[in-house]
A and B are shown apart, each in its own frame.
Chain A
Amino acid sequence: MNEMIRLRGVRKSFRGVRVLEGLDLDVAAGSVFALLGPNGAGKTTTISIIATLTRPDAGEARVAGFDVVAEPQEVRRRISLTGQSAAVDELLTGEENLRMLARLSGLGAGAGRRRTAELIERFDLADAARRRVATYSGGMRRRLDLALSLVFPAPVIILDEPTTGLDPRSRNELWAAIRELAADGTTVLLTTQYLEEADQLADRIALLHQGSLVAEGTPAALKARHGADATLDDVFLALTADDESADLALTEGGRR
């Protein structure tokens, strides 16, 4: 397997609280990989380490063969991050945001203009392109955020809960955009709390719970492991139940 992202034994604590406990992860080049898990499972921390924002306490993380700690600039040349909070400039217009990113991505004036026009068209922002971002709705801001991440077609795109807070229509558009990226050969790493999203988009899913990987595989394989009729919901609930809720599930089952 040609790995684009590779984590080995990655540990991270914040003020004594262990967030990641020796995480191993392999993401194949050109695949769509979903990190699935409940709140606080360590998804965002994992992404921050891969995107060079946070240093791991121990272990190793590589993107396209480059170490995130030793060679962060080489990693940054190959990734594009869309974080949870929209990373947009509120005082600029959507168009100006895109042009700024084009210049920071090394595109010349002409190429920057063309790319900006393309992305405005593709993300349905034509009416709003010349308005300040402060006036945008949540969905428009999210679309602009993703468009900004795509100004340069980086080999790896990282999306942290990309559809949280989106209405169904915007969510479907975003899914379509992710599928297009995958078709172009981009490696996509995304986190999500939604099983359906992982099932719809991902070639492989890693289930993260309390900082450890509890399951990893194709959606079909994960389902098959838990019985013929299992849904991803069943897998998710079975694997992320802590002891208390497992007990509760048993007693409830017993009563029925």
Chain B
Amino acid sequence: MTVALAARPRLRPFTEEAVFVARSLRHSLRDVEGLVMAVALPVMLMLMFTFVFGGAMDPSGHYVDYVVPGIILTCAGFGASSTAVSVNTDMTRGIIDRFRTMPIRAGASLTGHIVASLARNLVATVVVLLVGLAVGFRPSAALPDWLLALALVTGYILAITALFATIGLAAASPGAASGYGFVLLFLPYLSSAFVPIDTMPAWLQPVAEHLPVTPIIDAIRALLLGMPLDGWDVLWSSVWCAGIVLVAAVWGAWLFRRKAGRR
């Protein structure tokens, strides 16, 4: 034996997280189509809802004020959906086996994808706000209102990203992951994002009322437009987001172990 072969050294705390977050951010920057979508989609939705539908929804021209929170959440859904494909690609293309046979927390690769999604979607949120301001959105929020609204948006992005990551773990292939994820993209339409809930059929109103998107939208709208804030909306939003993240984490951890052990 010419070289003494030692065991791998133990890593410093959070090395995995740092490495995997950097990896996923790099992936996001390289995914040119995804980036173009992340910027183009908010612009297109904003323009469509303001100039195409806006006149019919609210002839007085203030629909832009109403619709900005809904478009922020809709774009967050689209921006987070690629997480399902990224996670599934890791799980099905062999690289997870490399990570799992190293003395590292392989699950940190999921953290990487989730943090990258958060970063992408916060950028998309800024784009929505800028386009909104350009086409007549006039928020009247003070700094604390902005911060609370940002916290709610962040919570929603984390919750929906966690769901997409779990779908990525559950699906058999990247294509299937993308397909299942599609359902989540329709959530914002079943809420007060684009039309007031009382314009919906009576049987649909309680559904839209109790899905997580409505309280988040209502709270953000109240905060940005300086309307009276309903404390229950903030509470429900927080409970929904925390609950979804928790369920996704438990379910995801189970899937991660099961998937990995099967091969």
Q: Mark B11-23, 1 if CB is under 8 A from A, else 0.
A: 1100110110001
> Which residues of A sit under 8 angstroms from B3, Cβ to Cβ?
153, 184-185
Chain A residues with Cβ below 8 Å from B16 are 104
- Provide the main secondary structure of the chain A interface: loop
- Choice from A55, A89, A104 contacting B11 with Cβ under 8 Å: A104
- How would you classify the secondary structure of chain B's contact residues: helix, strand, loop or mixed? loop
A53 lies within 8 A of B15 (CB): no
Let me know if B97 is at the binding interface, CB within 8 A. yes
Task: Select from chain A the residue with minimum beta-carbon distance to B11.
Answer: A106
Contact of A103 with B by CB under 8 A:
yes
The reply on B201 being an interface residue by CB < 8 A is: no
Given A85-B93, A92-B26, is A54 in contact with B9 using a C-beta cutoff of 8 Å? no
Q: Mark A57-84, 1 if CB is under 8 A from B, else 0.
A: 0000000000000000110111111011
Residues of B within 8 A of A106 (CB): 8-12, 15
Residues facing A in B1-37 (CB within 8 A) are 1-3, 5-12, 15-16, 18-19, 23, 26-27, 30-31
- For the complex, is A191 an interface residue (Cβ under 8 Å from B)? no
Cα separation A103 to B16 with both chains bound (whole Å): 8
**Interface presence of B144 (CB below 8 A):** no
Closest B residue by C-beta to A84: B94
Q: How many Å lie between the Cα of A33 and that of B23 in the bound state? A: 35
B231 near A: Cβ within 8 Å? no
A51 to B23, CA, bound (A): 25
Q: Are B23's CB and A77's CB within 8 A?
A: no
Contacts A53-B260, A77-B103 given; does A184 touch B5 at CB 8 Å: yes
Residues in B with CB closer than 8 Å to A183 are: 2
* Contacting pair A104 B19 (CB below 8 A): yes
Contact of B98 among A87, A154, A186 (CB under 8 A): A87
Asked if A87 contacts B95 (CB within 8 A), the reply is yes
Q: How far is the CA of A74 from the CA of B103 in the complex (A)?
A: 7
Residues of A within 8 A of B15 (CB): 103-104, 106
Please tell me which one of the listed residues A48, A86, A101 contacts residue B263 in the complex, with CB atoms under 8 A apart: A48
Q: Are B7 and A155 within 8 A (Cβ)? A: yes
Known A-B contacts A92-B23, A100-B19, A132-B30; the reply to A53 vs B97 at CB < 8 A is yes
Do residues B102 and A30 form an inter-chain contact, with CB atoms below 8 A?
Answer: no
Q: In chain B between 158 and 188, which residues have their CB closer than 8 angstroms to a CB of chain A?
A: none
Shortest CB distance A113–B (Å): 15
Bound-state CA distance A248–B101 (Å) is 43
B5 and A91 form a contact (CB under 8 A): no
Known A53-B260, A54-B261, A55-B261; judge A78-B8 contact (CB<8 A): yes
A163 interface residue (CB < 8 Å to B): no
Nearest-CB residue, chain A, relative to B15: A103
Q: Which of A76, A84, A89 contacts B23 (CB 8 A)?
A: A89
| Minimal beta-carbon separation of A190 from chain B (angstroms) | 15
Whether, in the assembled complex, B104 has its beta carbon less than 8 Å from a beta carbon of chain A, the answer is: yes
Complex CA distance for A96 and B10, rounded to whole angstroms: 22
Closest to A158 in B: B101
The complex places the Cα of A151 from the Cα of B10 at a distance, in Å, of: 15
Q: Does A148 make an interface contact (CB < 8 A)? A: yes
* Residue from the list A87, A92, A104, A155 in contact with B5, Cβ < 8 A: A155
CB of A52 within 8 A of chain B? yes
A236 at the A/B interface (Cβ < 8 Å)?
no
Q: Which residues of A contact B138 (CB under 8 A)?
A: none
B134 to chain A, nearest CB (A): 33
A254 to B27 alpha-carbon distance, docked (Å)? 63
Whole-angstrom distance from the CB of B256 to the nearest CB of chain A? 13
Q: Are B2 and A184 in contact (CB under 8 A)?
A: yes
Residue B100 at the chain A interface, CB threshold 8 Å: yes
Closest 4 CB pairs of A and B: A185-B1, A85-B94, A87-B98, A106-B9
- A-B CB contact pairs (8 Å), 9 listed: A53-B260, A87-B94, A87-B98, A104-B11, A104-B99, A105-B8, A105-B102, A149-B98, A185-B2
Given A106-B9, A153-B5: 16 more A-B contacts, CB < 8 Å: A30-B1, A51-B97, A51-B101, A73-B103, A81-B97, A83-B97, A85-B93, A88-B95, A91-B27, A91-B30, A96-B26, A104-B99, A132-B30, A155-B6, A185-B2, A185-B3
Question: Residues of B at under 8 Å CB distance from A?
Answer: 1-3, 5-12, 15-16, 18-19, 23, 26-27, 30-31, 93-95, 97-104, 260-263
Interface set of A (CB-CB < 8 Å, partner B): 30, 48, 51-55, 73-74, 76-81, 83-92, 96, 100-101, 103-106, 132, 148-149, 152-155, 183-186
